[in-house]
Every structure is written in structure tokens, then in C-alpha cells.
Structure 1
């Protein structure tokens, strides 16, 4: 396993998907449910997110080829989307999500797009494209599984996490994640620009 690639993929997905930041969102969306229902919602949300991420990791490139979209173009779009999410994290735009009127909140909007959103999908595809050997693919897969395991742990024990960190602690973590996410977004766009220039040359 390529540990450097694992670390990069894990940190990137951790910052994008933000397990600590999911706690207030999860509590807000499942607040009316009993403990058993909240635990079941955590499983469903993580399963949906993992399924979406894996699907795009496996077939995302085929979709891009069919549509004639280059990876640098996808990186640029992904970077802009990540920057938008980062600004929302920094300004508190995601602190008060509107509860859906109906439907399974564990699948939509929690599983997707809150967890498996455009940023996580694009980041996963970028890391898959960077992989050349079996060890690289295993490293990316392990990072995806590890982040989803943390997502489940934070949602499963959200009451304890909220009691320990309190709202101010989670707010601070969300702001730090927003700053890191903005830096990742800028790096994605910069790499895409360099790829465009190299391709034009």
C-alpha cells in the first residue's frame, strides 16, 4: 500500500466530508427519531455515501469519456465547487440546513449530497486517476473506507460527541475544515491550469 497516497486521500476526503461537522447536521435531520431510528439512519447514510463514491470511482472516467470531458476540466469544476463549500463552512452557511418535508433523510440529503457530494466525488476520481499500481488503488480504497468508518462512528455516537465538543467546538472544527478545504480547492484549480497549459504546449 502506498502510504503517502493513502494519507493524502484520507486527509482530503476527511476535510471534504467532515465527520465532526456531520454531527450537528445529523442531529438536526434525525432529531425527531428515536435512538434505534437514529442508529439505522447512520448506517443507511454511510452506505449510500459509500455506494455513490465507489460507483464514481469505478465508472466516473467512463462517463467523462462518453461526454468528452477532460480530467483538468473536471478538476477545475471540482475546485470551484469545493471553494463554494469551503466558503459556506467558513461563513456558517451549512450550520442551519433546512429539514426536508418528506422522504428518507438518511438517503437524501444526508447520504447524498451532504456526505457524497460533488467535492468528494471529484476528489475520489482524481486520486483514482493518479493511481498506477494495485497498491495505489488499495490505498485509495482504504482511505475511502476509513473516512466512511469515521463518518459512521461520529453519527453513531453523535450524542456523546456533541456533549464532549459542545456546539462551539464543532463550530471551530467546521471553520478549520473550511480553511483547509479552500486551500485544497485552490490547489485543484492550480493543478488543472498547469495541465491545460501542458496540454496546449
Structure 2
């Protein structure tokens, strides 16, 4: 197996998906959850993200071509969705009971577009296109799997962080996470607009 390609895929996706940076956002979105519910949300979010990444790795370019969707358009859409979630975290609307009724935050926004966002999708598609032979494909697949295991571990033990911080600490982390998430969302949209205007960097 191509261990160099495995390392490149793992490091690239680790930086993009940012398991450690996901913890405060995960805590903010699951602040009202019990320990069991938070554990289940972590598992579901990772499964959703893994499914989306694998689907785009196998069929991504065909899907985008068939729907006549460009990568910048996908990036802008993900950024706008993240911005809406960030505004909820900043204003506290995400703490209201009505905001979570009938909504599985493990799927949206955690699974996608937070974890399996445009950046991770595009990076995975690029690695798959560069892969030559089954050894390279196995290296990319193992890299993707390793990153998702890391994501699960980070969110699975986020409950320990919640116990340490307490409700007030989680509220503070939620507001900070909302600010950071809004910045990420704006950057995604800005990059997409720049690509639309001047072409790929």
C-alpha cells in the first residue's frame, strides 16, 4: 500500500475536517442532549459524513456533471447553510426546544456540511482522481476511514469537556463556536465567489 499517499490523504482531510475544532460546535449543537443522545449524535454524524464522502469519492464528478453543478456552487451552498447555523449559535435560537423538534442535528449540520463539507468532498475527489491502481485507492480509503475514526473519538468524548466546563462554560463555548463557524462560512462563500469571478486560484 502507498503509505505516503495515505499520510497525505489523512493529514489533508484532518486539517480540513478539523476534529478538535468540531468539539465546541458539537457541544453547542447538542447542549440540551443527554450523554446517551450526545453519543448517538456523534456516531450518526460520523456515519453520515463518511457516507457522503464515500458517495462523492465514487460518483462525485458524475453527480455534479449530471446536475450541471460546479464545485464553487457546491462550496457557496455549503457556506450559506453553515452561516445559518452559526447565526443560531450566536443568537441562542439553537437553545430553544422548537429548534430541535423533528430535526436531527447529527445529519445537518454536523454530518454535512460541517464534517463532509465542500472542502473535504473536493479533496477526496482529487485524491481519488490521482490514485493509480488498487494500492493507491486502498491508501486513500484507509486515510478517509482513519480521519472519521478520529472525528468520532473527538465528539464521543466531548461529554467530558461538557462536565468540566458546566452549563455556563458550554454557553460561552457555543457563542465562540458560532463566531468561528460564521467566519468559516463567510470564507467558503468568498472563495466560491472569487472562483466564479476570476477562475480557480
TM-score by length of 1: 0.65
Deviation at 1:115, TM superposition (A): 1.4
1:86–1:179 CA contact under 8 A, matched in 2: yes
Which residue matches 1:54? 54
Deviation at 1:185, TM superposition (A): 3.4
* Alpha carbons of structure 1 residues 145 and 184: separation in structure 2 relative to 1, 3 Å: farther
Which residue matches 1:190? 194
* Alpha carbons of structure 1 residues 49 and 125: separation in structure 2 relative to 1, 3 Å: closer
Instruction: Please state whether the residue corresponding to 1:109 is helix, strand or coil.
Output: coil
* Alpha carbons of structure 1 residues 172 and 89: separation in structure 2 relative to 1, 3 Å: closer
Which residue matches 2:112? 117
Instruction: Please state whether the residue corresponding to 2:14 is helix, strand or coil.
Output: helix
Which residue matches 2:124? 128
2:22–2:155 CA contact under 8 A, matched in 1: no
Structure 1 CA distance, aligned partners of 2:64 and 2:179?
A: 32
Which residue matches 1:69? 69
Structure 2 CA distance, aligned partners of 1:83 and 1:64?
A: 23
Structure 2 CA distance, aligned partners of 1:192 and 1:84?
A: 22
Instruction: Please state whether the residue corresponding to 1:18 is helix, strand or coil.
Output: helix
Which residue matches 1:178? 181
CA deviation vs aligned residue, 1:70-128 (integer Å, no higher than 9, x gap): 33433343444444445555555545572325xxxxxx613311212245343333223
2:42–2:152 CA contact under 8 A, matched in 1: yes
Structure 2 CA distance, aligned partners of 1:168 and 1:70?
A: 38
Structure 2 CA distance, aligned partners of 1:188 and 1:136?
A: 29
Determine if the alignment matches structure 1 residue 18 to structure 2 residue 22.
yes
TM-score by length of 2: 0.65
Deviation at 1:49, TM superposition (A): 3.2
Q: List runs of 5+ in structure 2 lacking aligned partners.
A: none
Deviation at 1:162, TM superposition (A): 0.9
Deviation at 1:174, TM superposition (A): 0.3
Q: List runs of 5+ in structure 1 lacking aligned partners.
A: 102-107
Question: How many equivalent pairs are there?
Answer: 185
Give the aligned CA root-mean-square deviation in angstroms: 3.8
Structure 1 CA distance, aligned partners of 2:196 and 2:149?
A: 30
* Alpha carbons of structure 1 residues 79 and 40: separation in structure 2 relative to 1, 3 Å: closer
CA deviation vs aligned residue, 1:42-72 (integer Å, no higher than 9, x gap): 3334223322332233223222222222334
Which residue matches 1:159? 159
* Alpha carbons of structure 1 residues 194 and 85: separation in structure 2 relative to 1, 3 Å: farther
